[in-house]
C-alpha cells in the first residue's frame, strides 16, 4: 500500500493574502505616494547640485581659455618691444586673476616689461611680489637674478649681491650668471680680496664655462692671476670656500 501523504488544506483567507514580494512593492508604492513631495525635492536638489558643478567646471575652463589668450597677447607685445602695452596687459592679468597660475606668472613678465622700459622701481616691486608667492625653483631662480639686475642697475651693490647669492645657491638656468654676479658686486663694493676669491671659485667649479675668458679678464683688472700662487695652496686642497655676503 502506498504511503499516505498529508496535504495541508489552504484556506480561502490564505489564498487572498499577498506574498512577500507583492507586499514589498505595495509598501514601496505607498511610501512613494506618501513622501512624493520630499522625494521630488531631494531629486531636484541632486540635479541642481550636479548642474552647478558642471556649470562651474565649464565656466572655469572658459576662463582658463580667456586668460591664456590674454597672456599670449601680452607675451606677443613684450616680444615685439611694446613695453607699455605689455605692462598694462600683464598688470590687468595679475590684478584680475591672482588665483590662476598665469595670473601669478604675469607679475614676473610684467617685471621684464618694466625692465625693458627702464622702470626700475616698478620692476623691483613686481619681482618682490612675485617671489613672495612663487614656489617653482626655476622661476624663483630667474626672478632672483632679475631682481639682482634691478638692484645692480639702481646702484645698490649690497642688495644686488644678496639676490645674486640666493640665485646662485639653488640649481637653475641662471646659477652660473648669478655666481659671477656675486663676484662682480664684491668688486664694485670695493671688497677686492673676496671678489678675487669668488672669481677663482667660479673657475674651479666651472673650468670649461663659456664665461671663462671674461672671468680671467676680470681677475686681470683686479690685479690677480687666474690661479693663486702655487705656494698658497697645499697639494690636494679642496675647492675654495663659499663666499658669503652680509
Average pLDDT, the chain: 79
Determine the average pLDDT of the residues in 8-26.
54
Q: How confident is the model at residue 246 (pLDDT cuts 50, 70, 90)?
A: very low
Domains of the chain: residue spans and CATH: 26-232 (1.25.40.10)
Q: How confident is the model at residue 238 (pLDDT cuts 50, 70, 90)?
A: very low
Closest residue by Cα to residue 181 from 201, 161, 158, 211? 161
pLDDT at 172: 77
| Tens-place pLDDT, residues 79-112 | 998 989 999 999 999 999 988 999 999 999 999 9
Say how many C-beta atoms besides its own lie within 10 A of residue 213's C-beta: 9
| Tens-place pLDDT, residues 203-214 | 998 889 889 999
pLDDT at 186: 93
User: What does residue 242 show for φ and ψ, rounded to 5 degrees?
Assistant: -70, 135
User: What does residue 82 show for φ and ψ, rounded to 5 degrees?
Assistant: -90, 75
The pTM of the whole model exceeds 0.85: no
Intra-chain end-to-end CA distance of the chain, in Å? 118
HSE of 15 in the Cβ direction (CA atoms, 13 Å)? 5
Q: How confident is the model at residue 53 (pLDDT cuts 50, 70, 90)?
A: low
Angle formed at CA 78 by CA 76 and CA 81, multiple of 5 degrees? 110
Rounded Cα distance, 224 and 200, in Å = 10
Q: What percent of the chain has pLDDT over 90?
A: 47
Amino acid at each position: 500500500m502506498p504511503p499516505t501523504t498529508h496535504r495541508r488544506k489552504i484556506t480561502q483567507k490564505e489564498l487572498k493574502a499577498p506574498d512577500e514580494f507583492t507586499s514589498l512593492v505595495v509598501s514601496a508604492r505607498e511610501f512613494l505616494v506618501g513622501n512624493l513631495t520630499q522625494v521630488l525635492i531631494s531629486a531636484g536638489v541632486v540635479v541642481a547640485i550636479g548642474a552647478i558643478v558642471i556649470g562651474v567646471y565649464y565656466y572655469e575652463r572658459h576662463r582658463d581659455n580667456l586668460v591664456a589668450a590674454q597672456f599670449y597677447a601680452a607675451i606677443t607685445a613684450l616680444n615685439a618691444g611694446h613695453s607699455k602695452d605689455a605692462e598694462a596687459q600683464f598688470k590687468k592679468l595679475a590684478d584680475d586673476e591672482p588665483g590662476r597660475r598665469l595670473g601669478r606668472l604675469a607679475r614676473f613678465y610684467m617685471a621684464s616689461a618694466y625692465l625693458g622700459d627702464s622702470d626700475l622701481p616698478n620692476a623691483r616691486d613686481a619681482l618682490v611680489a612675485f617671489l613672495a608667492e612663487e614656489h617653482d625653483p626655476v622661476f624663483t631662480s630667474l626672478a632672483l637674478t632679475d631682481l639682482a639686475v634691478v638692484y645692480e642697475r639702481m646702484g645698490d651693490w649690497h642688495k644686488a649681491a644678496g639676490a645674486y647669492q640666493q640665485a646662485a645657491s639653488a640649481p637653475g638656468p641662471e646659477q652660473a650668471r648669478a655666481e659671477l654676479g656675486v663676484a662682480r658686486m664684491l668688486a664694485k663694493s670695493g671688497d677686492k680680496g673676496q671678489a678675487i676669491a669668488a672669481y677663482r671659485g667660479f673657475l674651479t667649479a666651472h673650468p670649461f664655462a663659456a664665461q671663462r675668458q671674461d672671468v680671467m679678464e676680470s681677475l686681470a683688472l683686479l690685479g690677480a692671476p687666474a690661479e693663486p700662487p702655487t705656494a698658497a695652496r697645499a697639494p690636494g686642497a679642496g675647492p675654495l670656500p663659499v663666499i658669503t655676503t652680509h
